[in-house]
Amino acid sequence: MMTNSTKSKLDPAGTRYSALALTAPVAMGYIPLGTVFGFLFVQAGGDGWLAVLASLFVFAGAAQYMMIPMIAAGSSAGTIALATLIVNLRHAFYGLSLLDRLPRAGWLRWYLVFGLTDETYSVLTTMPESTSLRQMAWVALLNHAWWVTGTAIGATIGARAQVPLAGLDFVLAALFAVLAVEQWRTRMSPAPLWIALAAYGVAYSLAPTHALVIAIVLSTAAGIVWQARSATAATEARDD
Amino acid sequence: MIDSGYALGVIAAMGLVTFGLRALPFVAAEWLKRHPMVPRLGRFLPLAIMTILLLHSIAGAASAHAAGPGPELLAAALVMLLQWWRRNALLSILTGTVVYVLSRNLGWL
């Protein structure tokens, strides 16, 4: 399955080498953060092989961190699936900007789509337009490998030592903080952040236990109104 | 112990939802392109949802002790400042988490 055979014939080894270089910064993050996931999962009472399986088949850091306390508390699969939907909703928008870059159907493209994490997406968007599907798939595969490797290391450590430190799960909040800053940086408009702050404040004062879902509904509604107004303003400006 | 059969079900559900979200633009491109609201929500929702998730996990962590959300807010602010300044996710996450874990375990509260 080669969509760009001339390019891969020219330098198959070079393809791997540059993908390796491109994913090196991701490895610096994925291996230690995967280690923390594997460690926390095993400490919460899960088998190590299940942690590795989760990293192999889910491959979504924030959702995997979020799942640990939920699975330890015995939440239903449906509840965890809904939480995953909320945490990973942003990924539905990543593909929109890659539609033209991944034109052909085939298992290589579907693997790339599966591996479209925040980090893989940001590496792909820095690669030139001419990059072959094969080369992009290498980036996804290597990132996937770093994440699974880290998880296996963490699961092994976690199975050997009990660490009774309170607050280690703050790593999820920290990951959300990092993702928020990166979203802020790419959009260069902090309005969604202020709207979300207000929405969460209202939702929390109404019903703390359902604050998450209420806040998302409120800020989505506010976002639609806010955008409808700015779109109207843009249309009016064009008409003038 | 977490039951393995239950965990497998959870992992399968999470994997399907995550793949479904990542694949959505590729299977529904025509439909999505016909709705101008989609790209606009794409500009708005990721930051809004991340902010809400951050606030929600801060609220969750703060409810585990009696000292109020001070340590969580401080550690989150540290993470955001570091990320803005150095743009190194690992550095930001580990520094914030270490500061938070220390504040929870060394009796700074």
Q: What pLDDT digit, counting tens, does each position of B77-94 carry?
A: 999 999 999 999 889 999
Asked if residue A1 is part of any domain, the answer here is no
Distance from CA of B26 to the nearest CA of A (A): 7
**CB distance A67–B10 less than 8 Å?**
yes
Q: Given this model, what pLDDT does residue B19 score?
A: 97
- Residues whose CB is less than 8 angstroms from the CB of residue A9 and which lie 6 or more positions away in sequence, other chains included: none
Q: Given this model, what pLDDT does residue B36 score?
A: 80
Range of the domain at A201: 189-240
pLDDT in tens, A16-42: 568 888 888 889 889 999 999 999 999
Q: Which residues of A touch B97 (CB under 8 A)?
A: 167-168, 170-171, 174
Q: Which residues of B touch A204 (CB under 8 A)?
A: 55, 59
Q: Given this model, what pLDDT does residue B108 score?
A: 60
**CB distance B52–A219 less than 8 Å?**
yes
In this structure, what token pair is assigned to residue B76?
Answer: 């989150």
* Chain B touched by A166 (CB under 8 Å): yes
Q: Which residues of A touch B47 (CB under 8 A)?
A: 180, 183-184, 187, 190, 192-193, 196
Same domain assignment for residues A217 and A104 = no
Q: Mutate which of B4, B17, B88 to test chain A, going by most A C-beta atoms within 10 A?
A: B17
Domain locations along chain B: 1-34, 36-109
Same domain assignment for residues A193 and A107 = no
The answer on pLDDT for A7 being more than 80 is no
The answer on pLDDT for A9 being more than 50 is no
* Chain B touched by A53 (CB under 8 Å): yes
Same domain assignment for residues A20 and A133 = yes
Same domain assignment for residues A166 and A230 = no
With contact defined as beta carbons under 8 Å apart, do A94 and A122 qualify?
Answer: no
* CA angle (A69 as vertex; A25, A46 as ends), nearest 5: 80
**CB distance B22–A114 less than 8 Å?**
yes
Interface of A with B in 8-37 (CB under 8 A): 28-29, 32-33
Same domain assignment for residues A80 and A93 = yes
Ramachandran quadrant class, A11 (left: phi over 0; alpha: psi -120 to 50; beta: rest): beta
**CB distance B53–A165 less than 8 Å?**
no
**CB distance B42–A114 less than 8 Å?**
no
Same domain assignment for residues A164 and A222 = no
Asked if residue A4 is part of any domain, the answer here is no
Same domain assignment for residues A111 and A196 = no
CB atoms closer than 10 angstroms to residue B28: 15
Asked if residue A3 is part of any domain, the answer here is no
pLDDT in tens, A66-122: 999 999 999 999 999 999 999 999 899 888 878 878 777 788 999 999 999 998 998
Q: Given this model, what pLDDT does residue A13 score?
A: 52
Q: Which residues of A touch B53 (CB under 8 A)?
A: 62, 86-87, 176, 212
Same domain assignment for residues A110 and A128 = yes
Number of structural domains (chain A) is: 2
Q: Which residues of B touch A96 (CB under 8 A)?
A: 25, 32, 38-39, 42
How many residue pairs from chains A and B have C-beta atoms closer than 8 A?
A: 264
Asked if residue A181 is part of any domain, the answer here is yes
Same domain assignment for residues A110 and A62 = yes
Asked if residue A96 is part of any domain, the answer here is yes
A192: nearest CA in chain B?
B48
C-beta pairs of B70-74 under 8 Å, 24+ apart in sequence:
B71/B100, B71/B103, B71/B104, B71/B108, B71/B109, B72/A170, B72/A173, B72/B100, B74/B99, B74/B103
With contact defined as beta carbons under 8 Å apart, do A97 and B46 qualify?
Answer: no
Q: What average pLDDT does chain A have?
A: 86
Asked if residue A2 is part of any domain, the answer here is no
In this structure, what token pair is assigned to residue A59?
Answer: 């491959």
Q: Which residues of A touch B57 (CB under 8 A)?
A: 170, 172-173, 176
Same domain assignment for residues A128 and A32 = yes
Tell me how long chain A is. Answer: 240
The answer on pLDDT for A11 being more than 70 is no
Same domain assignment for residues A182 and A200 = no
* Chain B touched by A91 (CB under 8 Å): yes
Asked if residue A67 is part of any domain, the answer here is yes
Tell me what ipTM this predicted complex has: 0.91
Q: Mutate which of A57, A68, A89, A93 to test chain B, going by most B C-beta atoms within 10 A?
A: A93
Asked if residue A64 is part of any domain, the answer here is yes
The answer on pLDDT for A230 being more than 70 is no
Distance from C-alpha of B52 to C-alpha of A82, rounded to nearest angstrom: 15
Same domain assignment for residues A211 and A183 = no
